Amino acid sequence: MSSAQLPSVRDLPLRVLPVAWLARGSLGGRGSRHLVERHARVYRHTWLVLLSGFFEPLFYLLSIGVGLGKLVGTVTGPSGPVSYTSFVAPALLATSSMNGAVFDSTFNVFFRLKYNKFYDAALATPMRAGDIALGEISWALLRGGLYGAAFMIVMLAMRLVHSPWAVLGLPSALLIGFAFAATGMAATTYMRSWQHFEFVMLAALPMFLFSTTFYPLSVYPRAIQIVVECTPLYQGVALLRGLTLGAVGPALLWHVAYLAVMGLLGLYVASLRIGRLLLK
């Protein structure tokens, strides 16, 4: 097949998004880097805060994976029986990618939108609403990437990685972060008060507990299985678990597509809404 026959990127699944809008760069461009630079500079002053994001999933891994794992022994993973620690570890990586992204893109963004006029100052410069949305999400990913890399190293050291496919684990963790950061930011633009963040917790906590994080999908009756299979965190858990345990097949691409579309839609809505909220 010649390259001329290949569908261009524009014709691919991104059809759901207005293509002209994407091509114009309204999703944000160079300006987003400056926002990342700003956040990095702030964290130079408060670098200790950065550490907490690394220890949280590590503590979960040690208490549930190792501690509970002693009692459970082995479970049936996607590629057959594996140690409980190996089963739980990729799910904890997926969860921490989600939590980090949601925290960065909801609480922080809400505060900047409502209280300290942070975005108003940036929008008086050549920066655009899309630059701000993309900048915030990029920063969330950069942080998430650092945590993800550190966690992957711990997994390697503890011999919890069972396949060379795991090299795709970090990009996958970033994809999960992107999906949740973009969606979280889009949702934040609709929030009016801090009380609305209860909804964020209401969505994130059950996903953490029930998206096959701690046991396989097979424990559920079929009806519940379908519900779980529709949640975004399940996509992330299944993707990372498949990669680290070596159960790789075309099904994983479905998870990738789900998360990518979720992220792009979130970014689109977030850019649009920030523009509407601030440029009135």
8 A C-beta contact, residue 145 and residue 163 = no
Q: Which residues bind another protein (CB under 8 A)?
A: 30-31, 34, 37-38, 41-42, 45, 116-118, 120-128, 278-280
Nearer Cβ to another protein (74/116): 116
Nearer Cβ to another protein (70/117): 117
Measuring CA to CA, which residue among 109, 112, 100, 266 is closest to residue 182?
266
Nearer Cβ to another protein (21/215): 21
8 A C-beta contact, residue 197 and residue 191 = yes
Nearer Cβ to another protein (11/120): 120
8 A C-beta contact, residue 228 and residue 198 = no
Q: How far is the CB of 123 from another protein (least distance, A)?
A: 5
Nearer Cβ to another protein (31/77): 31
8 A C-beta contact, residue 246 and residue 87 = no
Q: What are phi and psi of 75, to 5 degrees?
A: -130, 165
Nearer Cβ to another protein (222/280): 280
Q: How far is the CB of 118 from another protein (least distance, A)?
A: 7
Task: Name 77's bridge partners.
Answer: 80
Q: How far is the CB of 275 from another protein (least distance, A)?
A: 10
156, two tokens: 């390697």
Q: How far is the CB of 205 from another protein (least distance, A)?
A: 29
What's at 191, amino acid-wise?
A: M
Q: How far is the CB of 201 from another protein (least distance, A)?
A: 25
Nearer Cβ to another protein (32/211): 32
Q: How far is the CB of 177 from another protein (least distance, A)?
A: 22
Q: How far is the CB of 120 from another protein (least distance, A)?
A: 5
Nearer Cβ to another protein (98/104): 104
Q: What is the spatial distance between Cα 180 and Cα 225, in angstroms, rounded to a whole number?
A: 22
Q: How far is the CB of 45 from another protein (least distance, A)?
A: 7
